[in-house]
Structure 1
Amino acid sequence: MMRTNVAAALRRLGIGDAATRVYVELLERSPAPLDVIGKAVSLSGERLLSVYGELVDAGLAGAAAGVRDLVAPVPPAAALQVLRRHRAAELDEFGIAVTGAFDTFRRARLAAHRTDVVELVTGEEIGPRVRQAWHSAELRIRQFDSPPYFPLSEGGGDALATLRRGVVQRVVYSRASLEVPGNLVRNIEPCLAAGEQARVLPSLPVKLLIIDDAYALVSLSIQEAEVHNTMLVVQPCGLFSALVALFEQTWQNALPFHGHVPRPHRLVPADRRLLALLAAGVPDEEIARNLRISRRTLSRRVETHMNRLGATTRFQMALQAQRRGWL
């Protein structure tokens, strides 16, 4: 039974019949001269040396330790592990070769069909393409919002119209978005009131608009000059999948932002609004201007809330407020 099991295992791992017979014979007779083993399996001369060489190359046999002119097998457990590792390495090499061949084939096909997965849009063409993107959304929009902004005449009108059509809208705002004078009240909070899901981070890696699972708009802006002059339109491809993954990961890491949306709680609306702005990282000057209070009054109210929540930092205060359902 042992001979049968070992022989079957060796054959499955790619060892030929003659080499398998030599190995099994070695298990029973070793250490022994190679010609004795060959006689037992009806092999001799060059043929015997070739078959024995196959076992040596596979790590299954070799010279007997301390005994001259005798050969011995590697114990089956160790031998099969070695052979399995060899086969795994061969499969890895085969996989790399196949993948390379497929990549070459795919590039050739793409070149042959002139498939444009990335389109470059510049200058005055950018505005109409952005408007078209908002109007074409059917199921959902995912967005990274950060200045500088496209010079669109209706501001947040496209976003509101899209929300009214029932399109799910998730937006991650950068802190800079909330610092643009008037942007919070004029554009962001109306969208929040209409059902937009919003989160905020101190900064964003790129300006991004993903329309359904159809395509994405990536803005290449010059932040320092506050200029938008180039945009990429990315069709479904590896880059598109990476952009979707980037959005989802960023969304998970961002802090929920509710703006001035009324939420049932014992807090008065002014305090709830104050905490929401603080949690979003809006600067004190902008908060005071939005709430129409002085910086001194703002500092007193912040200190009051920190004491009430047992927080020593504003970040802790934001977390505690969120946990209590104040945001």
Structure 2
Amino acid sequence: MGATMTLSLEPLGLGPREDRVYLRLVDLGSADAGSIARDLGLTPDEVRDSLRVLTERGLTHQDGLRSQRYRALSPQLALPELIRRRRADLVRLQTEADQLAQDVGSALTGGGAAVVPLVGAAAVHDMCARIQRGAEREVLMVDAPPYFDCGVQPNPSEFAALASGVSYRVVYHSEAVVAEVEREAMRGYIAAGEDARVNAQAWPKMLVVDGSIAVIPESSTHPDPERRLLITSSSIVDLLVLQFESLWERSTPVEAAGRLEPQPDADHISERDRELLMLMAGGLKDRAIARSLGVTERTVSRRIQELMRRLDADTRFRAGIRAVQEGWIAS
């Protein structure tokens, strides 16, 4: 056989390297990993890995237990059985997917289980987006760790919901606004109409829509961002709303730039100082504030002392109260 043979084993769950190794072995009849590696410009270890996978799938076999040489089974003999197995796997996967969709659909319409597990980042993202798109009145959210491996994720569904008149109240954990890009995203939501607060002890992560449906972590002791629970039980959702309201009352409001007007007789305060005071009032320590603002901890400590002096406050708590009284941050 010539070098013009082409075959893609990707539909069977194999990769381009396995394609090349299998075709080369078909061409040679039998060979060891070293000679195939030289022919294909691969390392012997890479070829051995591919041969192991191909052998497990029944496409190649060793000449003997002690032999280092491999032979390829004829495509006419090996591929039909693999294709049959793959087809059966896909049919089973479709059946399971249909059942899951039915279960989730029943939960959303009130006809199924009160608690439905969501497993995997895609399932969590899809469900959170879906219930937000169905919001009619209000969305409550606690943005807290743990996060997916890629960090805090954007929420385009929120902009669409806000534009349609749905209100959003969000409590951010300090880790949700530690980076400038994340604070900038928060400002974008606030500018679009979100009512935001910050609390260094914000917990647990949650999403509650119209007081009737919620998504929360599966475990409170070992939360996994890719394992959540969809809650439709009215009594459980009512408890989550109460927990959110309690957290909301203990959290510090975040105002959009320019939304607060300084008092006529108040000293001027920069937006940077306003942000620092907001984070401080939210319970963040100097180190977390420094990470959030991208400055050193010493700079934060020095600036807080200066602001406390200007506010004539001997404690951070009193500084927070005076900052509210002076109109520097919202109450």
The alignment's TM-score, normalised by the length of structure 1, stands at 0.57
Provide the secondary structure at the position in 2 that maps to 1:147. coil
Structure 2 counterpart of 1:164: 163
Structure 1 counterpart of 2:254: 257
Provide the secondary structure at the position in 1 that maps to 2:226. strand
Q: How many residues align?
A: 213
How has the CA–CA distance of structure 1 residues 302 and 127 changed in structure 2, closer, same or farther, with 3 Å as cutoff? same
Structure 2 counterpart of 1:215: 213
How has the CA–CA distance of structure 1 residues 122 and 275 changed in structure 2, closer, same or farther, with 3 Å as cutoff? same
Amino acid at match of 2:252: L
How has the CA–CA distance of structure 1 residues 289 and 118 changed in structure 2, closer, same or farther, with 3 Å as cutoff? closer
Offset, 1:144:
1.3
Does the CA contact (< 8 Å) of 1:221 and 1:229 recur in 2?
A: no
Structure 1 counterpart of 2:172: 173
- Runs of 4+ in structure 1 off by over 6 angstroms are none
Amino acid at match of 2:251: A
Amino acid at match of 1:216: A
Instruction: Provide the rounded CA distance (Å) in 1 between the counterparts of 2:294 and 2:165.
Output: 34
Output aligned runs, 1:88-237, within 5 Å.
115-123=112-120, 124-150=122-148, 155-179=154-178, 181-182=179-180, 184-220=182-218, 227-237=224-234
* Identity, % of aligned positions: 30
Offset, 1:235:
1.1
Is 2:229 the partner of 1:239? no
1:146-194 alpha-carbon deviations (Å, 9 max, x no partner): 0223469961323233222221101112233233x34542422211222
1:120-151 alpha-carbon deviations (Å, 9 max, x no partner): 11124222111112222121101111022346
Does the CA contact (< 8 Å) of 1:175 and 1:201 recur in 2?
A: yes
Does the CA contact (< 8 Å) of 1:171 and 1:198 recur in 2?
A: yes
How has the CA–CA distance of structure 1 residues 316 and 178 changed in structure 2, closer, same or farther, with 3 Å as cutoff? farther
1:92-147 alpha-carbon deviations (Å, 9 max, x no partner): xxxxxxxxxxxxxxxxxxxxx97422211112422211111222212110111102
How has the CA–CA distance of structure 1 residues 178 and 152 changed in structure 2, closer, same or farther, with 3 Å as cutoff? closer
Offset, 1:281:
3.3
- Indicate the larger mover: 125-134 or 246-255: 246-255
Structure 2 counterpart of 1:272: 274
Provide the secondary structure at the position in 2 that maps to 1:213. coil
How has the CA–CA distance of structure 1 residues 250 and 287 changed in structure 2, closer, same or farther, with 3 Å as cutoff? closer
How has the CA–CA distance of structure 1 residues 254 and 280 changed in structure 2, closer, same or farther, with 3 Å as cutoff? closer
Provide the secondary structure at the position in 1 that maps to 2:319. helix
Instruction: Provide the rounded CA distance (Å) in 2 between the counterparts of 1:316 and 1:262.
Output: 23
Does the CA contact (< 8 Å) of 1:259 and 1:277 recur in 2?
A: no
How has the CA–CA distance of structure 1 residues 238 and 290 changed in structure 2, closer, same or farther, with 3 Å as cutoff? closer
Offset, 1:284:
3.3
Instruction: Provide the rounded CA distance (Å) in 2 between the counterparts of 1:242 and 1:317.
Output: 34
Is 2:316 the partner of 1:281? no
Instruction: Provide the rounded CA distance (Å) in 2 between the counterparts of 1:326 and 1:254.
Output: 16
Does the CA contact (< 8 Å) of 2:198 and 2:279 recur in 1?
A: no
1:7-30 alpha-carbon deviations (Å, 9 max, x no partner): xxxxxxxxxxxxxxxxxxxxxxxx
- Indicate the larger mover: 314-323 or 278-287: 278-287
Provide the secondary structure at the position in 2 that maps to 1:216. strand
Larger proportion of helix: 1
Structure 1 counterpart of 2:301: 299
Structure 2 counterpart of 1:318: 320
Offset, 1:222:
7.8
RMSD of aligned residue pairs (Cα, Å): 2.9
Amino acid at match of 2:176: S
Instruction: Provide the rounded CA distance (Å) in 2 between the counterparts of 1:316 and 1:257.
Output: 19
Amino acid at match of 2:247: T
The alignment's TM-score, normalised by the length of structure 2, stands at 0.56
Instruction: Provide the rounded CA distance (Å) in 1 between the counterparts of 2:245 and 2:176.
Output: 20
Does the CA contact (< 8 Å) of 2:174 and 2:288 recur in 1?
A: no
How has the CA–CA distance of structure 1 residues 129 and 161 changed in structure 2, closer, same or farther, with 3 Å as cutoff? same
Provide the secondary structure at the position in 2 that maps to 1:228. coil
Provide the secondary structure at the position in 2 that maps to 1:155. coil
How has the CA–CA distance of structure 1 residues 218 and 167 changed in structure 2, closer, same or farther, with 3 Å as cutoff? same
Offset, 1:286:
5.2
Offset, 1:202:
2.5
Q: Which runs of 5+ in 2 are unaligned?
A: 1-109, 263-267
Does the CA contact (< 8 Å) of 1:142 and 1:170 recur in 2?
A: yes
